[in-house]
Amino acid sequence: MKEEQIAAQIFEEYGLSISTAKRAGGWTNAVWFNEDVVLRLSLNKDSNRIHREIMLSKMLPLEAGYPENILTGVIDGYEWSLSKRIIGTNLREAWPNLTWKQRTHVIKQIWDIMNMIHTVDVKKVSDLSANRPWYSSLDADEIIHRFKYYVDKEYFTKEQGEILISQLIDFWYILENNKVYLNHGDITMENILCDEDNILSFIDFEHSCIAPKEIDLHSFINLALFDEEGNILSDDKNPEEFLLYKLEIKKLIAPILKQVDTSVLLCGFAILFHQRFFEFWLDNPNGSIIDIKPYQKILSFTKHNGGYLSEILDF
């Protein structure tokens, strides 16, 4: 494949062989680990996301632990960067082996680092980040048109469509008048490296955006309180430990959730986030719509205030 040929060329120039490299996961970038370095190669030609992210990394707080960049370049229109490798474990892999006490320690660190990122001067990074989340254009006319389309196709009733659009109109009003911050934009377990229950690094800032910090708050809540299937966390085997875990998270987020603007923005970003994945399903429908998680998540906001986030908003 072409990306492997480019990777081989980069490694050779750095004095390494592609034969010792290990291919890792990646959505918009191909990633390889090779001894003490990490290579990221854009899968999209003529993109400048990697360059912007490296420039942004120079503005990030040390607490974010962003990997030190060694080299960057472009080959045949494909951006790439070579960075020092942080020896750690992807949080998604580490999480199942952690106790609730250890998970609490991890979540508190994520919260602190997230809030440190929000202190970055947005004026200094305005040209290095987007002004919207990766999953939505935030264009009101465009999104309302899509929800009306859903009603026309009978995915939602007319009443359900009106409820969702009404909530989004409230969301846009507050959005236009809200303070903005630098958001990581994609805080997931896959984008966090750790050593057992110690956070080492936040990686992949390519979806960073300057917007209300509820974008990151939504990601944080999904990470801390929902499982991979989108179900709210529970633990019947260790109820007392799990309760303590939830109480610690409540201490972190309850004060900010009491603000009306925060709850409206949080619900708006949640609807738009799941709309994106609903659109993915519409592009390639498989199975009954009733069984599609993103659809169910959106539908929940037509049934009661706060939708599937109602239990959390009541913290």
Q: How far is CA 298 from CA 35, 211, 238, in A?
A: 44, 22, 31
Q: What is the pLDDT of residues 88-108, one digit of tens each?
A: 999 999 999 999 999 999 999
Domain termination site, one of 50, 84, 118: 84
240 with 285, same domain: the answer is: yes
Range of the domain at 9: 2-84
69 with 98, same domain: the answer is: no
Separation between Cα atoms, residue 305 and residue 268, nearest integer Å: 12
Tell whether the torsion through CA atoms of 120, 122, 128 and 132 is positive or negative: positive
197 with 303, same domain: the answer is: yes
Contact between 192 and 213 (Cβ < 8 Å): no
Q: What is the pLDDT of residues 198-252, one digit of tens each?
A: 999 999 999 999 999 999 999 999 999 999 889 999 999 999 999 999 999 999 9
Q: Fill in the DSSP letter of residue 155.
A: S
Domain termination site, one of 53, 84, 115: 84
Mean pLDDT of 142-151: 98
Nearest residue to 293 via CA among 315, 306, 278, 305: 278
Alpha helices, DSSP H, located in 58-196: 91-94, 100-117, 122-125, 140-152, 158-176
For residue 20, give the CATH number of its domain. 3.30.200.20
Domain termination site, one of 59, 84, 109: 84
Domains: count for the chain: 2
For residue 179, give the CATH number of its domain. 3.90.1200.10
